[in-house]
């Protein structure tokens, strides 16, 4: 699928933040811990979720997905990985989250290794090191492109994460949830998807202390076998997409159901860049934990920030949100320095915005300098294989005068449902074409 975009239009209206991709996939993986039925509410109809469902069904999981998004999940008495859907598994990095729950049901197994986003070399080191301390040995087989898992005597432990990896922390929490006793996880990610996972596991009867901090204490239990309801929360990365869209196109947009605690530093940085916005009263997401607010972005005269913009572990600027500052920086007076230290190789995708007339310079593999403001023009571009850089280009095209083509937009569909239709309701012209 390609997107034909006619840009240069000022947008307006109200858009609601959808359910988080990353929270949804974490809860899908954790549902495999439950021998009973799990009901996940309002699951997003995105390609990432569909790939994991295909994998789950191929190993014996029964799944019913209602029109309202509610999903019923029933694991089999025994998982059978002989017919696992390798094609679907290799299309998502989230498959690595199946290591921990399957380790509670199988003593030895292989999982196809993910290909996922092309963001440079990404190590599974944080997963491997932490799981080993709990009795789960993970090795890679380059010839078969699989992860091999051997499960020994699982015991609770005190763990210092090799890095504050989101998925590494999630895998460790899922493993610890069904190991009776107390597991302490230090230097844990405190990001939104980890918090959602912890709230879900609390519904499963697992006591977890320190949610939202870098030290988690998991009181594991021997069995989970009941009807469990889970509510993945709204996606702060999607909220930021619409913030960036409004700022770059000079539009007034009201973005509803924003996970505000996850976006405060992003909004403060935008405020330093001259962006005008206001937000409403706090209210709770359906999970009873995440704090939501409605945020209205107003047309603003933008300036470069006084300091570089860099991602940080929560509660800092989210790594997935950093690319959304690229199109904003093209419309800001002065020089904006973006430091993408977390990924080896993602920053070079930021330079694709130059094909729309921007002035972005790669200083080194991790730093990009953007000079603005520049008048963006139309272009014909192949979407980067990474989700956020691809959506960054879509924003640039919506701000650019003329007709653009963004080709092969599967990376965008991995994380966004019905995006073209939602943008059309704001006055944008985005047409999905073959």
CA atoms within 13 A on the CB side of 184: 4
Angle formed by the axes of helices 47-58 and 21-30, to 10°?
10
Least confident of 22-31, 120-129, 170-179, 296-305: 120-129
Between the CA of residue 146 and those of 13, 53, 172, what are the distances in Å?
47, 19, 20
pLDDT the model gives residue 123: 66
Who wins on pLDDT, 158 or 93? Answer: 158
Q: pLDDT at position 343, please?
A: 87
Instruction: Say how far apart CA 389 and CA 395 lie, in whole Å.
Output: 10
Query: E strands along 61-105, which residues?
Result: 62-65, 71-74
Percent of the chain with pLDDT over 70: 98
- The rounded distance, in Å, linking the Cα atoms of 302 and 328 is 8
219 phi/psi in degrees, rounded to 5: -95, 95
CA 177 to chain centre: 22
Please give the domain boundaries of the chain with CATH numbers for all domains.
2-18+234-433 (3.65.10.10), 21-230 (3.65.10.10)
For residue 431 the two structure tokens come to 């047409």
- Band (pLDDT 50/70/90 cuts) for residue 18 is very high
Looking at residue 237, what is its pLDDT?
97
The yes-or-no verdict on residue 53 having pLDDT over 70 is yes
The confidence band for 118, taking pLDDT boundaries of 50, 70 and 90, is very low
Interval 305-314 mean pLDDT:
95
Note if the pTM is more than 0.85: yes
DSSP-assigned beta bridge partners for residue 412: none
Q: What crossing angle do the helices spanning 236-249 and 264-272 adopt, rounded to 10°? A: 10
| DSSP label at residue 79 | -
pLDDT (mean) for 136-145:
86
Assign 92 to helix, strand or coil. Answer: coil
Per-residue model confidence (pLDDT) at position 116: 45
φ, ψ dihedrals at 197, nearest 5°: -60, -45
| Res. 219: pLDDT tops 70 | yes
Residue 120 has what pLDDT?
Answer: 41
**What is the predicted pLDDT for the residue at 286?**
94
Residue 209, token pair as written in the block? 């202390």
Strand order in the sheet with 380-382: 380-382, 402-407, 2-7, 429-433
Pairwise CA distance, residues 157 & 327, whole Å: 45
φ and ψ at 57, to 5 degrees? -65, -35
User: Which tops the pLDDT comparison, 91 or 258?
Assistant: 258
Neighbours of 381 (CB within 10 A): 20
CA–CA separation, 407 and 364 (whole Å): 27
pLDDT in tens, 220-230: 999 999 999 99
In this prediction, residue 167 carries a pLDDT of 94
The percentage of residues in the chain with a pLDDT greater than 90, rounded to a whole number, is 91
Tokens of 277: 């916005």
* Nearest in space to 375 (alpha carbons), one of 8, 119, 97: 8
49: left (phi over 0), alpha (psi -120 to 50) or beta: alpha
**8 Å CB contact between 4 and 36:** no
Question: In sequence order, which residues have a C-beta less than 8 Å from that of residue 69 and are 6 or more positions away?
Answer: 19, 41, 42, 43, 44, 45
**Roughly what angle, to the nearest 10 degrees, separates helices 166-177 and 21-30?**
30
Q: Whole-angstrom Cα distance, residue 398 to residue 378?
A: 9
Identify which of 150, 140, 75 has the alpha carbon closest to the alpha carbon of residue 114.
Answer: 140
Q: Report which DSSP code applies to 17.
A: P
> Among all chains, which residue has been given the structure tokens 């191929």?
58
pLDDT digits (tens, 9 = 90+) for 321-367: 999 999 999 999 999 999 999 988 899 999 999 999 999 999 999 99
The predicted model gives 53-80 an average pLDDT of 96
User: What pairs with residue 278 in β-bridges?
Assistant: 296
Nearest Cα to 89, choosing from 62, 113, 65?
A: 113
Order across the sheet with 62-65: list the strands. Answer: 62-65, 71-74, 38-40, 228-230
Structure tokens at 226: 């009941």
């Amino acid at each position: 699928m390609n997107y034909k975009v006619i840009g240069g239009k000022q947008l307006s209206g109200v858009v609601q933040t959808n359910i988080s991709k990353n929270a949804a996939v974490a809860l899908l993986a954790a549902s495999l811990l439950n021998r009973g039925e799990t009901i996940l509410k309002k699951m997003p109809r995105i390609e990432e979720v569909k790939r994991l469902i295909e994998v789950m069904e191929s190993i014996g999981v029964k799944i019913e997905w209602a029109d309202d998004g509610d999903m019923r999940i029933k694991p089999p008495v025994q998982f059978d990985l002989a017919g696992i859907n390798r094609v679907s598994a290799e299309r998502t990095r989230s498959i690595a989250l199946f290591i921990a729950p399957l380790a509670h049901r199988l003593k030895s197994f292989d999982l196809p290794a993910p290909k996922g986003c092309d963001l440079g070399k990404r190590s599974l080191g944080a997963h491997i090191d932490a799981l080993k301390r709990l009795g789960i040995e993970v090795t890679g087989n380059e010839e078969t492109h699989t992860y091999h898992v051997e499960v020994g005597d699982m015991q609770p432990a005190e763990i210092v994460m090799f890095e504050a990896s989101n998925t590494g922390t999630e895998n460790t929490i899922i493993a610890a949830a069904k190991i009776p006793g107390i597991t302490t996880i230090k230097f844990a990610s405190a990001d939104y998807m980890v918090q959602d996972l912890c709230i879900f596991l609390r519904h499963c009867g697992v006591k977890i202390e320190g949610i939202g901090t870098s030290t988690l204490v998991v009181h594991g239990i021997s069995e989970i076998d009941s009807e469990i309801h889970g509510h993945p929360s709204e996606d702060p990365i999607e909220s930021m997409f619409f913030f960036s869209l409004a700022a770059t196109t000079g539009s007034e947009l009201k973005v509803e159901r924003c996970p505000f605690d996850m976006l405060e530093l992003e909004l403060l940085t935008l405020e330093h860049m001259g962006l005008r916005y206001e937000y409403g009263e706090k209210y709770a997401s359906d999970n009873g934990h995440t704090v939501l607010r409605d945020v209205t972005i107003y047309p603003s005269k933008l300036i470069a920030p006084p300091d570089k913009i860099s991602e940080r572990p929560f509660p800092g600027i989210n790594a997935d949100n950093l690319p959304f500052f690229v199109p904003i920086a093209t419309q800001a007076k002065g020089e904006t320095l973006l430091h993408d230290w977390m990924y080896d190789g993602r920053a070079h995708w930021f330079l694709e915005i130059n094909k729309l007339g921007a002035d972005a310079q790669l200083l080194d593999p991790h730093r990009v300098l953007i000079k603005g403001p520049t008048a963006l023009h139309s272009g014909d571009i192949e979407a980067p294989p990474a989700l956020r850089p691809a959506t960054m280009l879509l924003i640039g095209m919506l701000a650019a005068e003329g007709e653009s083509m963004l080709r092969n937009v599967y990376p965008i569909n991995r994380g966004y449902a019905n995006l073209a239709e939602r943008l059309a309701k704001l006055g944008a012209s985005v047409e999905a074409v073959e």
